[in-house]
């Protein structure tokens, strides 16, 4: 889908290295009309085009695996259901949806149509007239075969639709090879016709020991005269290592040509890493989800890779991990790009002992590349929500699917957030982009905004949220990515260190017994110790109205957490630190 950027929140840095922090303000929540147990609204697919939003769900209130597609229209700040399309039993209608202007496409990958083999799948195109969505065409593969899963992935841009069939059978293959396929359809007037077919690499079927191939077509993304295809079990040259691939196609002289094939840069990734299982295409930039990528120790944590096209070739900009990666969290299970913003879903994240609460991380593009700027989840969630199963950026607005959200079990919901620049600023990151390096060669990755790398190979991040008004506000400081089950102390001061020298204030200084940087000093105050949980997280401080901690209006204070850490290879200290956060208290 081709989207216009409505608003770009620019990443700014001061001479002291402080970076403005984003805040996510919840503004709404959407659910289906029925809120049926197991419906999974927002779990599988959502897409937005201007003031229209489509949400797919593969379950329906009446029949399991029937599925539905919902279209909402926004007027002012309110989303209203405009239309609903329901699938027939067994179709998994709504497995994927794509929306562009007045054209909607809904995939039904396990459907059976009269005259076609069983469970071959289809995609249905709708057009909008007034407030009514009318079917315009049923799209099927010209060489449909059983178990094709045609319609498992779809995208639309103007008069062009791309459909993935991850189980697409290679014609004439013996034994049968399901390498996958992708079909291109074009609209002339009101008629849609198939104009191109591309297939996965048939030579890879036997390497998986079955008729399952590289899963070519598991994900598709279309924009203008370019589309990309995910092939998440593609074997990348090392026998048995199915790390995945992404294929880039361009329209050249009226014909589609595969111009690039990207593969996972993680040589230590697991047997199957899922590279290409999620895609986000935004102009000359491509994001690739790698949700089951593994570390060198074999821990499956997930990753996201960003590529940029310079007019000649695609170059990898960054490979991103969570600042506190955990096994099975699914980082990169969903992602979206819009201008200088990237949103990444991590639906299996555990929080305060509850599994699958989920979280979303927002990155911004700045002078030193992509930088983690915001991490958040549903506030107060006490049960599994799978927050982050789907994400959709639209300028400064962010939609997030939570496929297991209640109150009805696993009914699902879509949350809407407004992104804005917070009055709080982050500084003194241990990511090697500043003036002062971490004390023992333990710089964290350049895209992390937290402190120096610790014994868990994480970066402790101190974050501020809320309104710092002393009369009616409430601001909270929380820590994540610290050493698990360790003591952490919150400090505040009036000066960012160093206060003199060649490096600017806020760069940090090296102190004895510290494996991190000390970022603040002068009028140093202690705000109590907290014990981090098994995930290295702690709520450090909540400041409400009335200035109970001695803060006054118009006062600027700088905060940092110091925490205990056991022996770390190459480091001699037993203390590490977070980044710094600056807060100006208002009346």
Q: Where are the domains of the chain?
A: 26-41+339-421, 461-584
458-472, 526-540, 542-556: which range is least confident on average?
A: 542-556
**Phi, psi (rounded to 5 degrees) for 208:** -95, 0
Best CA proximity match to 360, nearest among 346, 379, 340: 346
What are 132's strand-pairing partners? 129
230-234, 299-303, 493-497, 521-525: which range is least confident on average?
A: 299-303
Whole-angstrom Cα distance, residue 466 to residue 455?
31
Q: Which of 25-39, 453-467, 478-492 has the highest mean pLDDT?
A: 478-492
Distances (CA, A) of 262 to 246, 313, 333: 5, 11, 18
Flag whether pLDDT at 7 surpasses 80.
no
Q: Which residues of 252-287 are buried (b: 16+ CB within 10 A; e: fewer)?
A: eeeebeeeeebbbebeebbebbbbbbbbbbbbebbb
Once rounded to an integer, what is the mean pLDDT over residues 342-360? 90
Q: What is the DSSP letter of 224?
A: T
Count of C-beta atoms within a 10 Å radius of residue 512: 8
- Name the burial class of residue 527, with classes exposed (0-12), middle (13-18) and buried (19+) by CB atoms within 10 angstroms of its CB: middle
Once rounded to an integer, what is the mean pLDDT over residues 352-371? 89
Starting from the edge strand earliest in sequence, which strands make up the sheet with 285-290, in order? 278-282, 285-290, 303-309, 314-320
The pLDDT assigned to 119 comes to: 65
Q: Which residue has the higher pLDDT, 586 or 49?
A: 49
What are 335's strand-pairing partners? 344
Cite the beta strand spans of 411-550 per DSSP E.
413-427, 461-467, 474-480, 487-493, 495-496, 509-510, 517-518, 520-521, 525-531, 538-543
Confidence of residue 4 (pLDDT cuts 50, 70, 90): very low
Q: Is the peptide bond before 461 cis (omega within 30 degrees of 0)?
A: no
Question: Given the structure tokens 């009101």, which residue do they identify?
Answer: 190
Q: Which of 22-26, 393-397, 410-414 has the highest mean pLDDT?
A: 393-397
- Which two three-digit tokens encode residue 339? 């201008």
Give the model confidence (pLDDT) of 224-277 as tens digits: 999 999 999 998 777 667 789 999 999 999 999 999 999 988 876 556 788 999
Flag whether pLDDT at 442 surpasses 80.
yes
Element (H or E) spanning 508, and its range? none
Q: Are 360 and 344 in contact (CB under 8 A)?
A: yes
- Which two three-digit tokens encode residue 400? 């997030």
Best CA proximity match to 456, nearest among 428, 431, 424, 480: 480
Q: Is the peptide bond before 87 cis (omega within 30 degrees of 0)?
A: no
3-state SS class at 218? coil
Give the model confidence (pLDDT) of 33-58 as tens digits: 777 777 889 999 999 999 999 999 98
Count of C-beta atoms within a 10 Å radius of residue 473: 15
Write out the DSSP string of 137-198: EEE--TT--TT--EEEEEEEETTEEEEEETTPPPTT-SS--EEEEEEEEEEETTEEEEEEEE
Q: Are 562 and 525 in contact (CB under 8 A)?
A: no
The pLDDT assigned to 433 comes to: 87
**Phi, psi (rounded to 5 degrees) for 204:** -90, -10
3-state SS class at 302? strand
- Name the burial class of residue 57, with classes exposed (0-12), middle (13-18) and buried (19+) by CB atoms within 10 angstroms of its CB: buried
Q: Which residue has the higher pLDDT, 15 or 89?
A: 89
Best CA proximity match to 482, nearest among 510, 511, 450: 450
Chain Cα centroid distance, residue 512: 39
Give the model confidence (pLDDT) of 421-439 as tens digits: 887 899 999 999 889 999 9
Q: Is the peptide bond before 407 cis (omega within 30 degrees of 0)?
A: yes
Q: Are 326 and 301 in contact (CB under 8 A)?
A: yes
In SS3 terms, 556-577 reads as EEEEEEEEECCCECCECCCEEE
Whole-angstrom Cα distance, residue 305 to residue 289?
7
Residues with Cβ within 8 Å of 332's Cβ and at least 6 positions away in sequence, in order, are 274, 278, 289, 290, 291, 293, 302, 303, 304, 344, 345, 346
Q: Which residue has the higher pLDDT, 208 or 414?
A: 414
Q: What is the mean pLDDT of the chain?
A: 89
CA 429, 431, 435, 436 dihedral sign is positive
Whole-angstrom Cα distance, residue 230 to residue 282?
16
- Which two three-digit tokens encode residue 214? 């590289």
The pLDDT assigned to 3 comes to: 47
Give the model confidence (pLDDT) of 58-91 as tens digits: 876 555 678 899 999 999 989 999 999 998 888 8
CATH classification for the domain delimited by 461-584, as one of 2.60.40, 1.10.8, 2.30.30, 1.25.10: 2.60.40
Whole-angstrom Cα distance, residue 294 to residue 419?
31
1-10, 48-57, 106-115: which range is least confident on average?
A: 1-10
């Amino acid at each position: 889908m081709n989207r216009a950027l409505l608003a770009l929140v620019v990443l700014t840095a001061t001479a002291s290295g402080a970076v403005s922090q984003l805040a996510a303000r919840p503004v709404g929540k959407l659910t289906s009309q029925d809120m049926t147990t197991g419906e999974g609204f927002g779990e599988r697919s959502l897409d937005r085009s201007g003031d229209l939003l489509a949400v797919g769900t593969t379950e329906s209130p009446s029949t399991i695996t029937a599925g539905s597609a919902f279209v909402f229209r926004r007027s002012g700040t309110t989303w209203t259901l405009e239309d609903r399309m329901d699938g027939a039993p067994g179709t998994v209608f709504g497995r994927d949806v794509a929306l562009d202007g007045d054209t909607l496409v809904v995939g039904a990958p396990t459907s059976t149509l009269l005259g076609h083999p069983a469970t071959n799948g289809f995609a249905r195109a709708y057009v909008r007239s007034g407030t009514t969505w009318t079917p315009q065409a049923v799209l099927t593969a010209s060489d449909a075969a059983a178990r094709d899963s045609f319609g498992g992935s779809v995208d639309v841009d103007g008069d062009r639709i791309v459909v993935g069939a991850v189980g697409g059978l290679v014609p004439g293959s013996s034994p049968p090879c399901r390498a996958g396929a992708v079909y291109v359809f074009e609209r002339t007037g009101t008629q849609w016709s198939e104009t191109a077919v591309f297939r996965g690499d048939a030579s890879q079927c036997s390497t998986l020991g079955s008729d399952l191939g590289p899963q070519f077509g598991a994900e598709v993304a279309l924009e203008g005269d370019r589309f990309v295809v995910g092939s998440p079990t593609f074997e990348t040259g090392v026998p048995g290592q199915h790390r995945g691939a992404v294929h880039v196609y361009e329209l050249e002289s009226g014909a589609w040509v595969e111009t690039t094939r990207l593969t996972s840069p993680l040589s230590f990734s697991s047997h199957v890493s899922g590279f290409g299982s999620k895609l986000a295409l935004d102009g000359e930039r491509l994001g690739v989800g790698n949700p089951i990528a593994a570390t060198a120790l074999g821990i499956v944590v997930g990753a996201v890779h960003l590529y940029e096209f310079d007019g000649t070739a695609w170059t990898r900009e960054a490979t991103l991990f969570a600042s506190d990666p955990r096994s099975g969290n699914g980082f990169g299970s969903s992602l979206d790009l819009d201008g200088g913003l990237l949103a990444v879903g991590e639906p299996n994240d555990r929080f305060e002992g509850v599994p699958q609460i989920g979280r979303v991380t927002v990155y911004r593009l700045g002078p030193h590349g992509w930088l983690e700027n915001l991490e958040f989840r549903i506030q107060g969630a006490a049960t599994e929500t799978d927050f982050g199963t789907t994400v959709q950026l639209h300028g400064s607005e962010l939609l997030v699917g939570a496929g297991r959200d209640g109150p009805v079990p696993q009914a699902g919901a879509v949350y809407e957030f407004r992104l804005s620049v917070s009055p709080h600023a982050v500084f003194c990151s241990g990511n090697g982009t500043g003036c002062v390096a971490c004390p023992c060669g333990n710089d964290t990755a350049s895209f992390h905004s937290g402190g120096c790398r610790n014994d868990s190979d994480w970066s402790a991040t101190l974050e501020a949220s809320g309104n710092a008004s002393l009369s009616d506000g409430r601001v909270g400081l929380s820590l994540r990515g610290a050493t698990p089950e360790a003591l952490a102390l919150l400090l505040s001061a009036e000066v960012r260190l160093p206060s003199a020298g060649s490096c600017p204030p806020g760069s940090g200084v090296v102190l004895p017994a510290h494996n991190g940087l000390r970022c603040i000093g002068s009028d140093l105050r202690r705000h109590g110790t907290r014990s981090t949980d098994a995930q290295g997280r702690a709520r450090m401080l909540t400041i409400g109205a009335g200035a109970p901690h001695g803060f006054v209006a118009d006062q600027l204070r700088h905060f940092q957490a110091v925490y205990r850490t056991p022996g770390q290879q190459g480091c001699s200290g037993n203390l590490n630190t977070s980044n710094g956060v600056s807060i100006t208290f208002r009346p």
